[in-house]
Structure 1
Amino acid sequence: MAIIDVVKWEVNDKELVYKFPSEQIRLGSQLVVYPGQTALFVKGGKIYDEFICGTYTIKSENIPLLDKVINLPFGGNSPFQAEVWFINQISMLDCKWGTVAPLQIEDPKYEVIVPLRAFGQYGFKIGNPRVFLERLVGNMSSFATNKVIDYFRGVILSKLTAIVYDKLKQDNMSVLNINSEVDRLSDYAKECLSDDFQEYGISMETFNIISISVKEDDPSFQRLKEAKDEAAKIKIIGRENYQMSRSFDVLEKAAENEGDGTMGAAIGLGAGVGIGSHVGAMAAQTLNTHTLNPDSIPPIPTVDYYLAIQGKREGPFKAEQVEQKYGRSEITENTLIWKKGMKAWAKIADIDDFTHLFDENCPPPLPL
């Protein structure tokens, strides 16, 4: 094999690794390392000396680790055997990814599983040439960029479901609003995926979710929208009024199913002559049977609150107890409060559960 006088590799974006085709290197040869490259001298499968961009005259002085192994002759232009590997470190910024099958994401707010499709792009570069060569390349004389793209596309898709769900849950955000948060979701995904890349000496430069979509006519998406509408009704009219409204819905359905039509007619007219008491009795029976049976109505969940009073945490308290403390001037609108689900303590006046206490139409607490 001919002895080489110039060792170099013309960098391109198709290959990440190039093994120089000759192992016969002459002392005094030129080593050319272009910007965006690192050259590694390898002997017996072990990496020794490393060169970043620049032009070098190969001498025993500038490959000291390899010199210890093969005892390079001092001076002259004697040949020696070693492998030279070039690692391409330019940034690859247009790597596409996309879901083949929909991601099954449970909406943290409404507990409905919705199928989502997503696509985007990411960028990477070889951050640690030694680790990359040792852990991913091995003894392959070349390593195509597409191999890395294909491998990490699988890593991204396998972890994306958990990443999206965790971020939605962390921010208490519904799938219905997900497209307005793609920037924050992209940053979070990059943070979660970076360690998987670094394990192989690769740095993730960018990660972007370009679009997340769901079919408008998908049954799961329709159920999610219905759940949101029901939650909005409860918030507007209150839980007690909402339950009463549902009770009358049940009553109306029962009336429509009556064989003799008497109840349906009575409800349709609103008030009938001589049958008001009959309708009232039937209504009460229907309400008791269908909606007001204590065994069939789940209890309204209670919420525990904690207060910061004179620098100490006190509680738990129910909402009524908190209101009583405000009424007795034991706390003020600036008192800090916390309940499960809140990320941090907040002033009681800023909590929706107690804003009614500070309405201008309500009297202030009694003086002590």
Structure 2
Amino acid sequence: MALIDIVKYNGNEKEFAWRFPNDELSTKTQLIVNESQVAVLFKGGKAYDVYEAGRHTLETMNMPLLNKLINLPFGGETPFKAEVWFVNMTHSLDIKWGTSSPVNIQDPKYGIYIPISAYGQFGITVNNPKEFLKKLVGTLPSFGQHDVINYFRGFYTTNVKDEISNYLVNKKITILELGAHLKELSEYMKNDMAEGFNSYGLELLNFYVEDISVPETDEGISRLKAALNKKAEMDIVGYDYKEERGYDALVGAAKNEGQAGTVAGAGIGLGMGTVMGHELGTLLKESNENLKKEDNIMCPDCGYESSKDSKFCSNCSKTFQKECGQCGQIINNENQKFCDECGSSLLKKCHQCEAVLSNNAKFCHDCGEKVVE
């Protein structure tokens, strides 16, 4: 095979590295290196001399490292074998990246796992040609953007998951709020991934997260959005979740009573369908204030506090008050023995032997007769 007179770059603009196809060189071979390129001579798979932009004659004085290996003599045209690699040092800023499938990330604020998909682009440049060629290129004839994407897909996919999770924890925000933080998240991820690229002789110039999406059909997302919508509604109206539960209980009590007798019942019975916005918030606030009076009644079943005039527990609907069987007078004191209106006995008695029974007795302790409620 004839010796090569001129060695120059013949790859395309998308290549990071390109190998000259012939290795039959001599001390008269002219090496032409373009601007924004370097050339690296390899012998036996090991990188030796590096050439900057310009025209170089591959003579012994221009190959100090390689000359030590093959002992090239001075003068004359001496043939030798060596590979010439051209490395483009330009900035490649349009390398696309994306998660091939959704990755599950736990929302630090709500604790549920949410599958997310992310994509964007990044820019790199070669900052250590020898390290780049040894660790990434190997025996390939060329190395371009497509190879970078394939080699680093696992690296950035893993880092995307970890860095997003760390960012959410550090910022104490939910996944659904990430859209407002993409610029800061991009810089955060670039800083953390730069060292990984640098170990391969590459400098990570930028890393952009263009979009993070979540599947609308995911059950966790649907529940989370419903909860956030409910919270927004409560914030607008002016009440919280505890007050809403109390309101629901009051509705249930009013239905059980069958009439709009209490404050809540009156509000529900007279205009439940028309109470909106500020009026609903005012009604709930007034009801809540009534429930917080010092002389509230505590339900013996669930421990919830209700106003002293309540006939039912606002939480579990347990009946508080009892009526005199003779005159219908309301008895507030559960331990009262006689009606203060007509004087009739309020004690629970066995219908068989008239023995005095406890309020929760199911059988008479004297005659064993089943208690009739």
> Structure 2-normalised TM-score?
0.65
Would you say 1:5 and 2:35 are equivalent positions? no
Distance 2:179 2:241 in 1: 31
Distance 1:172 1:285 in 2: 34
Could you tell me which residue of structure 1 aligns to residue 18 of structure 2?
18
Separation of aligned partners in 1, 2:259 and 2:53: 88
- Deviation at residue 78 of structure 1 after TM alignment: 1.9
| Secondary structure in structure 1 of the residue aligned to 2:316 | helix
Residues of 1 paired with 2:259 and 2:193: CA distance? 61
Taking the aligned partners of 2:217 and 2:138, their CA distance within structure 1 comes to: 50
Q: Percent identity?
A: 39
Tell me the CA shift for residue 130 of structure 1.
Answer: 0.9
Equivalent runs, 1:43-122 vs 2, <5 Å: 43-122=43-122
Match in the other structure for 2:207: 207
Task: Name the counterpart of 2:311.
Answer: 281
Say if 2:312 and 2:318, in contact at 8 Å, map to a contact too. no
Asked if residue 154 in structure 1 is aligned to residue 184 in structure 2, the reply is no
Unpaired runs of 5+ in structure 2? 270-306, 320-373
In the TM superposition, what are the counterparts of 1:118-197 in structure 2 within 5 Å? 118-197=118-197
- The aligned residue for residue 262 of structure 1 is 257
Q: Are 2:194 and 2:203, in contact at CA under 8 Å, matched by a contact in 1?
A: yes
Tell me, what secondary structure is at the counterpart of 1:55?
strand
Give per-residue Cα distances to partners, 1:124-177, cap 9 Å, x unaligned: 222211111111222223334311112223322222122112112212223232
> Number of paired residues?
280
By how many angstroms is 1:226 displaced? Answer: 4.1
Q: What is the CA–CA distance in structure 1 between the aligned matches of 2:169 and 2:42, rounded to whole Å?
A: 49
Which residue does 2:251 correspond to in 1? 252
AA at the equivalent of 1:83: E
Deviation at 1:255, TM superposition (A): 5.9
Q: 1:285 to 1:21 in 2, by over 3 A?
A: closer
The verdict on how the C-alpha distance between 1:96 and 1:271 changes in structure 2, with shifts beyond 3 A counting, is: closer
After TM superposition, give the deviation of residue 2 of structure 1 in Å: 0.6
- What per-residue deviation string (whole Å, max 9, x for no partner) do you get for residues 277-332 of structure 1? 9992322572789xxxxxxxxxxxxxxxxxxxxxxxxxxxxxxxxxxxxxxxxxxx
In the aligned structure 2, how far is the partner of 1:45 from the partner of 1:264?
93
Q: How does 1:302-313 map to 2 (within 5 A)?
A: none
Shift of 1:254: 6.5
> 2 CA distance for matches of 1:271 and 1:88?
77
Q: Over residues 205-232 of structure 1, what are the superposed CA-to-partner deviations in whole Å (9 max), with x where a residue is unaligned? A: 2211112233556543343234445666
Aligned residue for 1:283, secondary structure, equals: coil
Displacement of 1:183 in angstroms is: 0.6
Distance 1:136 1:254, change over 3 A: farther
**More off after superposition, 171-180 vs 105-114:** 105-114
- Return the index of the structure with the highest Cα Rg: 2
Looking at secondary structure, tell me which structure has more helix per residue: 1
Rate the CA distance shift 1:40–1:243 in 2: closer, same or farther, 3 A: same
Identify if the C-alpha distance between structure 1 residues 163 and 263 changes in structure 2 by more than 3 Å, giving closer, same or farther. Answer: farther
Q: Secondary structure of the residue that 1:13 maps to in structure 2?
A: coil
Amino acid at match of 1:136: L
- Take 1:153 and 1:217, find their aligned partners in 2: how far apart are those partners? 27
**Does the 8 Å contact 1:13/1:145 carry over to 2?**
no
Cα separation, partners in 2 of 1:264 and 1:117, compared to 1, 3 Å: farther
Secondary structure class of the residue paired with 1:84: strand
Indicate the residue corresponding to 1:309 in structure 2: none
Other structure's SS at 1:35 match: coil
Q: Deviations over 1:80-139 (max 9, x none)?
A: 222222223322222212233333333333334333332211122222111111112222
Contact 1:95 1:122 in 2 (8 A): yes
> What whole-Å deviation, never above 9, does each CA across 1:221-264 have from its counterpart, x for those lacking one?
343234445666589968xx7534423323434665xxxx4357
Determine the C-alpha separation between the residues in 1 that align with 2:309 and 2:151.
Answer: 70
* Aligned pairs (5 A) from 1:233-252: 233=234, 242-252=241-251
State the distance in 2 between where 1:41 and 1:285 align.
83
Alignment partners' CA distance in 2, 1:105 and 1:190: 19
Secondary structure in 2 matching 1:286 = coil
Q: 1:329 corresponds to which residue?
A: none
* TM-score after normalising by structure 1: 0.66
User: In structure 2, what is the Cα distance between the partners aligned to 1:184 and 1:7?
Assistant: 46
The letter for the 2-side match of 1:246 is: R
Other structure's SS at 1:165 match: helix
Aligned mates of 2:89, 2:153 — CA distance in 1: 20
Preserved contact between residue 263 and residue 279 of structure 1 (Cα < 8 Å): no
CA distance in 2, matches of 1:59, 1:169: 59
Tell me how far apart the structure 1 counterparts of residues 133 and 315 of structure 2 sit (CA, whole Å). Answer: 78
Identify unmatched segments of 5+ residues in structure 1: 290-368
